[in-house]
Amino acid sequence: LDRLSTSWTTNGTAAILLAFYIAVGKKQQVPIGKLRGTIQNDILKEYIARGTWIWPPDPSIRLIVDTIEFCAEHVPRYNAISVAGAHFRDAGCTAAQEMAFTLSDAVTYVDAVIERGRMTIDEFAPQVSFFFYTHNDFFEEIAKYRAGRRRWARLVKERWGAKNDSSCLFRTGCVAGGSTLQAPQAHNHNVGVAYQPMASELGGVQA
Distance CA 122, CA 111 (A): 13
Residues 48, 149, 154, 118, CA torsion sign: positive
Q: What is the pLDDT of residues 35-67, one digit of tens each?
A: 999 999 999 999 989 877 778 899 999 999 999
Residues in contact with 19: Cβ distance below 8 Å, sequence separation at least 6, in sequence order: none
pLDDT digits (tens, 9 = 90+) for 145-160: 999 999 999 999 999 9
**Neighbouring-strand partners of residue 130:** 83, 172
pTM over 0.85: yes
